[in-house]
Amino acid sequence: MATAVETKGWTRDQMAARAAKELRDGYYVNLGIGIPTLVANNIPEGMTVTLQSENGMLGIGPFPYEDQVDPDLINAGKQTISELPSSSYFDSAASFAMIRGGHIDLTVLGAMEVSEKGDIANWMIPGKMIKGMGGAMDLVAGVKKIIVVMEHNAKSGDPKFIPQCTLPLTGKNVVDMIITDLAVFHRPDHDSPFKLIELAPGVTAEEVRGKTTANYVE
Amino acid sequence: MQKIYSSAEDALEGLLFDGMTIAAGGFGLCGIPERLIDAIQASGVKDLTIASNNAGIDNEGLGKLLRTKQVSKMISSYVGENKEFERQFLAGELEVEFTPQGTLAERLRAGGAGIPGFYTKTGVGTQVAEGKEVKSFDGEDYILERGIRADVSVVKGWKADESGNLVFRKTARNFNQPAATSGKVCVAEVEEIVPVGSLDPDSIHLPSIYVKRMILGAPYDKKIEFRTVRQREAA
């Protein structure tokens, strides 16, 4: 039925909500730009999760009210934000000491490609997009747990979870979990293959297999 | 010693030369030394290498120096939101050393702290590692990155006392602190200069030793790249 087709899989918000299930009380977390930012709206009630902004802040508050907008208070996506009573500020070197030093518990990032070995590519398309890696390479090198949230397939239909990345890498063998609009893949350590652990509503394992070129365990 | 200068032009007098390296503070358009950038543009100095996290946007911040083609090389982590930058880069007019954001911050910090190089996990196995020494510590690979010692650094602070102790405000601190230490000479612009003794010594972010020259840059019309707000719920 047509309606069943339309409700199949997860929306961007639902993908973010699924990623939020990986949060734990007391976690310090860095969220990337795009769908990962939506994870902030899904922090379970009663749980204390502190969000880090790599431009130098711990304790990101919600977007400000119109009359509280402050150009000196932005997140890493350059959006205006607010502070919390528990917030703190620091410089960029201190911020990345935190990240590189393994003090951040979890990061959620977008990606253009993830390989079956846990490589991630999300910063450059040669000859086309030249924005740069920002803090993504530092995050995947230093944060304890790396979750990628991305569409299962590119707009062209090409799989994004693939045997080997074709784009320049952001990090090698770093991804722990992949959440797409169709499914969730996880691996317990960086020597193990990814395992399909969850399917979005209305999605079958067979369909995921057909839309994925990476090898994984079912 | 008088550190306070009457204008950005005066504060940069004798410091600028073609082919020099400049470290600039700021993240996006937040906490950028805009008065000093304007003065660098007006000076006509060229063939600059600039270490800065971003390259401004089309006609704001360092984007102004790109527009006048005074920059030959950028050392940056993220240069989106800048069409002129993209055009010059794709046309081969501008060299870019893409440096991960944390590596850039640490390169500036290390350079200013007398550390010529350091090993980091960031970028291992990527393009960033190409041509760099790889060394294994406790079974994990790290790459060697170089500290940056700039000829001049330009930064933006919130308050300074007359001796050059600086305080930053909220996320406008960002790269200003490590950039300030990386320069052989650091020139700062601030929103307010207060008498010595008015700042709490325990709350100084950048001690006066780093600030050689400064100007009062106010009044500022601070720019916002993405204004995001929430609505108050109806009472």
A184-216 tens-digit pLDDT: 999 999 999 999 999 999 999 999 999 999 999
Q: Tally the C-alpha atoms within 13 A of residue B147's C-alpha that lie toward its C-beta.
A: 15
The per-residue pLDDT for A1 is 44
By C-alpha distance, which of B152, A198, B30 is closest to A216?
A198
Distance from CA of B87 to the nearest CA of A (A): 10
Write the residue in B77, B126, B173 that is nearest to A170 by C-beta.
Answer: B126
CA angle A76–B179–B218, rounded 5-degree value: 80
Q: What is the pLDDT of residues B39-87, one digit of tens each?
A: 999 999 999 999 999 999 888 999 999 999 999 999 999 988 788 888 8
Cβ-contact B157, B138 below 8 angstroms: no
Per-residue pLDDT band for B108 (boundaries 50, 70, 90) equals very high
* A172:B125 CB<8 A: yes
Nearest-Cα distance to chain B for A180, in Å, is 24
Q: At what angle do helices B101-112 and A92-100 cross, to 10 degrees?
A: 120
Residue type, A172: K
Q: Select the residue of A56, A79, A136 nearest B226 (Cβ to Cβ).
A: A79
At B81 the three-state DSSP class reads: coil
Are the beta carbons of B129 and B143 closer than 8 angstroms? yes
- Main-chain dihedrals φ then ψ at residue A185, nearest 5 degrees: -120, 145
How much is the pTM?
0.96
A133 at B interface, C-beta within 8 A? yes
B-chain residue closest to A82, CA distance: B229
Rounded to an integer, the average pLDDT of B184-205 is 98
Place of tokens 């994004």: A160
B-chain CB neighbours of A63 within 8 Å are 228-230
| For range A160-186, the mean pLDDT | 98
Does A121 lie at the interface with B, CB-CB under 8 angstroms?
no
| CA nearest neighbour of A131 among A36, A197, A42, A34 | A34
How do residues B17-38 score in pLDDT, each as one tens digit?
A: 999 999 999 999 999 999 999 9
Q: Which residue has the tokens 């980091």?
A: B120
ipTM: 0.96
Inter-residue contact B27 to B171 (CB < 8 Å): yes
B31 versus B235: the higher-pLDDT residue is B31
| Mean predicted lDDT score pLDDT of chain A | 95
| pLDDT band, residue A3 (cuts 50/70/90) | very low
Give the distance from residue B224's alpha carbon to the nearest chain A alpha carbon, in angstroms.
6
What is the phi/psi pair of residue B69, to 5°? Answer: 60, 40
Residue A128 has pLDDT above 90, yes or no: no
Q: Say what the pLDDT of residue A4 is.
A: 46
Per-residue pLDDT, averaged over A33-43, amounts to 92
pLDDT band at A7 (very low <50, low <70, confident <90, very high): low
Least confident of A170-179, B89-98, B110-119: B89-98
The 3-state DSSP class for residue A166 equals coil
